[in-house]
Amino acid sequence: MKILVADDDAVSRLVMSRLMERSGYEVVTAEDGREAAEALATLGGPRLALIDWMMPELDGPGVCRQVRSRHNGSYVYITLLTSKESKEDIVVGLEAGADDYLTKPCNPEELKARLRTGMRILDLEDKLVEAREDMRFKANHDALTALWNRGAILADFERELIRVRREHSTLSLLLCDVDHFKRINDVNGHLVGDDVLQQMASRFLESVRPYDAVGRYGGEEFLILLTGCTATLAQKRAEELRDSVARRAFRTSGGDLSVTISIGALTTCDWANHLTASQLLHEADQALYRAKAEGRNRVCTSRPLP
């Protein structure tokens, strides 16, 4: 792990650096407080710091305050090294944001033991961040396909609809349904059905632009949002998507399967400007229903309301 050794005295800095290197740390040094604060603000910079209290440019408590004022980046565990022994000075240092302090000259073994405590705290913080990010991902993504889940894709749709109406742009929806999916599950088993859904998700992601959105709408249905896409282009993209699914077999645990999809397409335009998100989805769903009624493996577009 990287550790910052900040001290304006060259001899003290060298002695401390060598001690840390012998203890297995990757050492970064700073000669004054400004340099120390900049090193700790660097992406991938040290997350452990030994900061001398008295330094030019910015003292130890000043470095602590500057580091703690940042609202992003990983936590930095800071130990102040000081010759000050009064309780008042110690309180000042801790209130400035220091995690620990040692009075100079410090005992090497005590210093190493306290740094191990700091590493345990950083490890705990990393685990908490990882757990938080995992929870955030699970709250917005489908567990099977890792696509946006229904709630997330619908929320994105609502936001995009507000944006395109404000900017007088267009937004196209593709509501896709895997044809005869129940038969796939009944004949081949649910694990094969899961294989199909996972590979379907991958093909959809490969076929859209980075700024488009793909979500699992429910069961074997997927919702794709194409921003800034005209009706003509949306129908072309939908046909390309349908064809890419139909012409390449799906490799599953039960063997290769030929799978097709039906798509209901809708593009926001003048006739749809007064419709809510739910009403637009209903129109796309009606187009999908027609695609399935007309034989499946096809694209049907929503028709303007009378």
Which residue of the set 35, 160, 220, 283 is catalytic? 220
Strand-strand pairing, 26-30 and 2-6: parallel
Dist CA 160 CA 166 (whole Å): 10
Following DSSP, what letter does each residue of 202-238 receive, concatenated? Answer: HHHHHHS-TTSEEEEEETTEEEEEEET--HHHHHHHH
Two tokens, residue 90 = 């110690």
Reply yes or no on whether 220 is catalytic.
yes
The 3-state DSSP class for residue 51 equals strand
Q: Which long-range contacts (CB under 8 A, 24 or more apart) does 251-254 make?
A: 251/195, 251/199, 252/188, 252/192, 252/195, 252/196, 252/199, 253/191, 253/192, 253/195, 254/188, 254/189, 254/191, 254/192, 254/195
CA–CA gap between residue 283 and residue 300 (Å, rounded): 11
Query: Helices in the chain by DSSP H: which ranges?
Result: 10-22, 33-41, 60-68, 87-95, 108-140, 150-167, 181-188, 190-207, 231-246, 277-293
Q: Helix, strand or coil for residue 18?
A: helix
Q: From CA 279, how far away is CA 259, in angstroms rounded?
A: 29
Q: How far apart are CA 122 and CA 125, in angstroms?
A: 5
For the four alpha carbons of 273, 276, 278 and 279, in that order, the dihedral sign comes to negative
> Which structure tokens are listed for 57?
């440019």
Active site residues: 220
